[in-house]
A and B are shown apart, each in its own frame.
Chain A
């Protein structure tokens, strides 16, 4: 029964993808990837929410608080929440800058403002590199979710089917399909979480009982290094949140700056699903459920509490949340390759080449998922270490300041290189998020580089040969 409900909902999502194309005939590059800047508040809201609340919300977060208590939960909730005020202020600027430079990708913004091919290549290349762990996270989460729900299929097959589905969605109509499916996904995910949370509180005789039982198991206290980690990670990742390559693209789909502002006001309210998720995950502790892994916490509670057909709905919500993020990553990577890495491609061939690139990305992610099983927590962190290093450059270009592109490029390379080195060599900073330290180094390099590289050359005035289409 649950399989039937699940299949029907996935079939419905495919129907939505096809339906989303109606009335848009032959899609141009801009329509395919950023919907010709036509989306209103509702669609931007669902698309953004759809790409933010990934499978990590239903697998990684419950697993984290189940195993480690509020220490984990607080930074996860905090960084997402604090990203919205930042998005409220920089999102409209990103949109305006995108319009000015006729951008589809984040690297287009760097190209348009700094007029530097090297900087464009660095941003484009490292965007792709650091999106691989993010894709891995989705695949790992998808496999964990469907296993947690008691479906014993080989992970390889599961992952391949998921990749094929994600590709099908965007092959049909690009970001328009993503936005429409996001509406379905957000409704299903909310329903799944709220229903499970309410059922958990009901069965345990109130939320109080659930927390009481859980507090014997995980401590509500935080040690000093944990506190430093939580505070610095919230700061660092909230700054990096909208530096994700697909986030800039999400802003570009909006009709205008005020659409983005209104979306950001509503975004924190979507997080009101988390209390239900916390109750559901802690229920696994209070009811003494046997878990194969902490990541199963939410699904174990769902399996324990819900009737069979509702589990199909939970599974579909989880699967779509992973698939949609994958689709979002693919929509970001396709144009990065066809516009920024291979700049001489005629526009007529960009879309087709992008689809080949997307398939290649999915295959690489599948391979890395199968070869290097990682903790979901560290996957999230790895992506942020790299992506957040775009922040100084983005702020400079949003403020339209003239800073030497070489200095910005050096900052990004130093920040990312140092972050990878610290991560690989396990260099710690007394609990402080190593990405934040590297971001500090990045800013320092940009400042010093800018001063040292004087006197100014004539590079700023160089016309951009690729930038002639309107």
Chain B
């Protein structure tokens, strides 16, 4: 409770700003899809398009939230300027692992909240298209998005432990830029990853890549584990 209160007070502004940005993107996307006549005739195509955009945005917001909103006061690189109040935080009778995980959990809840908002909008969106997709399709999309968001978010968490704020901003920006260019150029591995992560592959083929899912989950766990170990070993 203590750490939740502390974490909430620390991240609430960034979280609210993130949610506002997310809501803006979601609403904009909703109107563009509603007016897309081609999407009205093909539910699978519509769902696939929606989820692809949703996944990319969710990954970006997740990484940014992890990088800028969750851990900045505890995890900055030792070579960077030490955040002003970190000494107060570290002097509290709480382990570093608890401090880290409480903030990480709060950030994860923020990512989840963004997903819930989008999911709540999906039935409305689908109603204006060809019709609602099946529950199986929807749950599949949600599952894949959750895994993709967790991957980006945990990568962002690890980034906060390895880089300074400024460097991490560049890393996230560069990753987003490279991803955007790759997607624009239809770079094979990236397209396959996006199709997999967004659930588009599942929706079009009905096949679940369990190996892909397992790799994503394992990667996320390793990122979080590495981040915790880094924080526990860090010297301030």
A and B form one complex = no
Q: Which residues of B contact A (CB under 8 A)?
A: none
Q: Which residues of A contact B (CB under 8 A)?
A: none
